[in-house]
């Protein structure tokens, strides 16, 4: 058969798949992404499902989206819908292959009965504490449960009563009978079913026993005919258990392949820790733009194409490694530099009065929406004799290589004239509050004759500028690896968000939610999808124009 060639950079998993297709071990590629619907997806999940959907796409196969909803206490439909939205947002489609582990609860139960009848599973009546004590350690073998040798008939009867709700939670548990002295702790008679009198978001109150993830995981893959069960490395030690279940049941065996999970600097990926950040109100919610969740990144303005580029760029390997957050931010900049319309905004305003410009004249200057893409058109910028520039673009005693404004110095206003600072006005405290400047009215759209002006600064017209709220987001943690801190909460960056007011060109008042702009010379900003109102946009800083964090470390 002919093997489809991968469309992207190869890695060890693609090599395995290519060799299997060539040898005939598998004739098609079927992968799956199996999230548990107990929280929101983060950038680490994006690496996983980008890999799974990407592999299926590259080799002409398919990828299933399957929710492993085996724990009704922590799972909700809210998370199901959020996960589906995240996967779609990144541009992936599972087609008709949307599945749930709960779809297979009847079959899982029959397989559990099959293992009991084969003498491979038993009902244990020890307490949870007794089971922990008897499990042993990495250096000491476990001890057999006193209930391990129950008869098949007694086990079947007890398991049936468990299913019928005749026992309270925690009184019995179904375990696989493997080997309590195994060096692999996962093979020391692992739990298969526990009693849990809880309402399930899909099956309601039909069940009061639920399969453990390790029992349902491999069998779910088998039922769906998944050829490649691609997992992160923490599941490597679980693979012998999955293989044991598959062999004892005599069913189709998917091939499990493990890869290193994503570790991103200045970030935590643990669902437990992210949940604590939300519950303890260190952030405003799962969609806080500082969070590594996909819903947070979407609200912040990260384009899905940038996240896909990032996932491809960091590669897939076996060895654990840390990826600096700047790599992700650079992918965001690259994408937004191509797509974001340009606008002018002043965050720290300083008044400029043009002494030779008519006080009653308001011009409409032409400005490109994107200087490198003329096909994106232009917009009109109001221009008058009173303007605001950014205070950082003026120095009273500028150094030699400061190419912005200073006393007696010239600078070009972007998309407008060259101006010269003639007078500096200060208040009673000596603070500069206004600049009196002259405009070279012969320099609109052309260079001056006989001199070179290097500096270009942004501006807004004083009377026509609109005030908007801006949020200046930065890294959520000040420590590169917050997980190493004694208490990761202490590693939170107190400067991770600052609120401010900006003066912007009037066209931005009508910006739609979720639209991202480059505030020229300032950064990329996105209209907040939650707090913005008609005519009152709130702008989130998506990313700075360049990486400034490394210089601060």
Catalytic positions are 36, 261, 271
- Residue 435 φ then ψ, to 5°: -120, 130
Give the number of other CB atoms < 10 A from CB of residue 131: 17
CA angle 11, 13, 15 (to 5 degrees): 70
CB 24 within 8 A of CB 274: no
CB 340 within 8 A of CB 517: yes
Check the CA dihedral 304-309-315-321 and report its sign: negative
CB 478 within 8 A of CB 515: no
| Structural tokens at position 250 | 């005599």
- Residue 129 φ then ψ, to 5°: -65, -40
Query: What gap in Å lies between CA 297 and CA 327, rounded to an integer?
Result: 15
Query: What gap in Å lies between CA 64 and CA 445, rounded to an integer?
Result: 56
| Structural tokens at position 87 | 């996967």
How far, in Å, are 112, 206, 207, 552 from residue 199 at the CA level?
22, 8, 8, 51
Q: Which residue has the tokens 């541009």?
A: 91
Closest CA to 285 of 277, 361, 51: 277
How far, in Å, are 31, 60, 74, 170 from residue 27 at the CA level?
13, 11, 38, 45
CA angle 306, 233, 14 (to 5 degrees): 60
CB 220 within 8 A of CB 66: yes
The full DSSP string for 290-349 is: TSSBHHHHHHHT--HHHHHHHHHHT---SS--EE-HHHHHHHHHHHHHHHPEEE-EESSE
How far, in Å, are 116, 171, 198, 377 from residue 194 at the CA level?
15, 9, 12, 63
Contacts of 446 (CB under 8 A, 6+ apart): none
Burial class (CB in 10 A: 0-12, 13-18, 19+), 487: exposed
Query: What gap in Å lies between CA 188 and CA 55, rounded to an integer?
Result: 34
| Structural tokens at position 24 | 């005939």
Give the number of other CB atoms < 10 A from CB of residue 73: 10
| Structural tokens at position 499 | 């609120």
């Amino acid at each position: 058969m002919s093997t489809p060639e991968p469309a992207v950079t190869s890695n060890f998993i693609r090599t395995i798949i290519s060799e299997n297709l060539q040898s005939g071990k598998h004739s098609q590629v079927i992968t799956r992404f199996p999230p548990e619907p107990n929280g929101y997806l983060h950038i680490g999940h994006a690496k996983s499902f980008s890999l799974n959907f990407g592999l299926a796409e590259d080799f002409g196969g398919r990828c299933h989206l399957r929710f492993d909803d085996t724990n009704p206490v922590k799972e909700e439909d809210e998370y199901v819908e959020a996960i589906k939205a995240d996967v779609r947002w990144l541009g992936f489609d599972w087609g008709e292959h949307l599945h749930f582990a709960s779809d297979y609860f009847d079959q899982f139960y029959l397989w559990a009965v099959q293992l009991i009848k084969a003498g491979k599973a038993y009902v244990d009546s020890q307490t949870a504490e007794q089971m922990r004590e008897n499990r042993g350690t990495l250096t000491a073998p476990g001890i057999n449960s006193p209930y391990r040798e129950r008869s098949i008939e007694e086990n079947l009867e007890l398991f049936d009563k468990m299913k019928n709700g005749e026992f309270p939670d925690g009184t019995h548990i179904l375990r696989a009978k493997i080997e309590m002295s195994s060096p692999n702790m996962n093979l020391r008679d692992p739990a298969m079913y526990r009693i849990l009198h809880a309402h399930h978001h899909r099956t309601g109150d039909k069940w009061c026993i639920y399969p453990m993830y390790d029992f349902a995981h491999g069998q779910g893959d088998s039922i769906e005919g998944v050829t490649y069960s691609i997992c992160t490395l923490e599941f490597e030690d679980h693979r012998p258990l999955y293989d044991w279940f598959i062999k004892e049941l005599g069913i189709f065996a998917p091939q499990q392949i493990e890869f290193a999970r994503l570790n991103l600097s200045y970030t935590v990926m643990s669902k437990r820790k992210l949940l604590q950040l939300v519950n303890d109100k260190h952030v405003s919610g799962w969609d806080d733009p500082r969070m590594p969740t996909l819903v947070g990144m979407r609200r912040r303005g990260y384009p899905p194409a940038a996240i896909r580029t990032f996932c491809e760029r960091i590669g897939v390997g076996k060895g654990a490694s840390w990826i600096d957050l700047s790599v992700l931010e650079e992918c965001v900049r690259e994408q937004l530099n191509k797509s974001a319309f340009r606008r002018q905004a002043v965050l720290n305003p300083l008044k400029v009065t043009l002494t030779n410009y008519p006080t009653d004249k308001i011009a409409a200057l032409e400005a490109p929406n994107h200087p490198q893409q003329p096909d994106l058109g232009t917009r009109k910028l109001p221009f008058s004799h009173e303007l605001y520039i950014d205070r950082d673009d003026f120095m009273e005693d500028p150094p030699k290589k400061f190419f912005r404004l200073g006393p007696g110095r010239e600078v070009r206003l972007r998309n407008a004239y060259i101006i010269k600072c003639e007078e500096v006005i200060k208040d009673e405290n000596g603070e500069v509050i206004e600049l009196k400047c002259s405009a070279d009215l012969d320099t609109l759209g052309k260079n001056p004759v006989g001199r070179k002006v290097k500096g270009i600064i942004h501006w807004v017209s004083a009377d026509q500028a609109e005030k908007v709220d801006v949020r200046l987001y930065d890294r959520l943690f000040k420590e590169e690896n917050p997980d190493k801190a004694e208490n990761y909460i202490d590693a939170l960056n107190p400067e991770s968000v600052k609120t401010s007011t900006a003066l912007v060109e009037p066209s931005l008042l009508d910006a739609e939610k979720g639209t991202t702009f480059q505030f020229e010379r300032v950064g990329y900003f996105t209209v907040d999808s939650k707090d913005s109102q008609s005519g009152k946009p709130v702008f989130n800083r998506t990313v700075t124009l360049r990486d400034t964090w490394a210089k601060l470390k």
